[in-house]
Structure 1
Amino acid sequence: MKDELEFFDVETVPWRPDPLAPGVSERVLSREDDGDVGTRLARWAPGTETSGVIRHDYFEEVLLLEGSLHDITLDRTFRAGHFASRPPGMPHGPYRTVDGCTMLEIRNRSADAS
């Protein structure tokens, strides 16, 4: 279960390197102990590129706040204001960003994955 938190200034949360994604830093706003489920801001440095298609066992919602992200498989570029909602197992990526981007990610467990 995620921590119970009342409003706080997200600027007080430091940016830290994402240990699983070179070129990405994260500002974790809330997270379960397992580390997969939570809410974070993710900032991709200009020139960051992922490899391979991504799948995971949790629901993920993503809102691009700044910059742009190119989906290599779809050959489409998404910009600030674009939103994605991905159920567990949905393939997505790989991605690249020329100018960098910042996104809000919200990850939740599937109701039947308890």
Structure 2
Amino acid sequence: MKEEFEFFAVGDVPWRDAEPGVQEKVLSRAPGDPAVLTRLARWAPGRDTTDAGVITHEYVEEVYLLEGELLDVSLGVTFTAGQYASRRPGMRHGPYRTPAGCTMLEIRSRP
């Protein structure tokens, strides 16, 4: 289970590098299980995951785009702020490009 918190100022949580071109603010996580977390993720302009190919993972993933645009290269569809995705384990998605950058709320959990 994720850590338990009462309301706190998300602005006080620092951005940290998660991977090249991605910064994150981890809001809550499950101790000992890096796949279970809630975070804000900020993708830098020009971020492109095409070389990594189609993505799958073993956890449930919910994503809500807060700002910017995210192009799904496989689908040829651009998703914009205010759009939401819910993915079951094993669901194929991506790869992605974000010419102008984007910020998303991402919630990961175990089925």
The alignment covers a number of residue pairs equal to 108
Could you list the structure 1 runs, at least 4 aligned residues long, displaced by more than 2 angstroms after superposition: none
Aligned to 1:22: 20
Deviation per residue, 1:56-102 (Å, 9 max, x gap): 11110000000000000000000000100000000101000000000
Aligned to 2:47: 48
Higher strand proportion: 2
The share of aligned pairs that are identical, in percent, is: 66
Gaps of 5+ in 2: none
Aligned to 2:35: 36
- What RMSD in Å do the two structures reach over aligned CA positions? 0.7
TM-score normalised to structure 2 length: 0.95
Deviation per residue, 1:3-59 (Å, 9 max, x gap): 1100001011100011xx310000000011221111000000000011211111111
Gaps of 5+ in 1: none
TM-score normalised to structure 1 length: 0.92
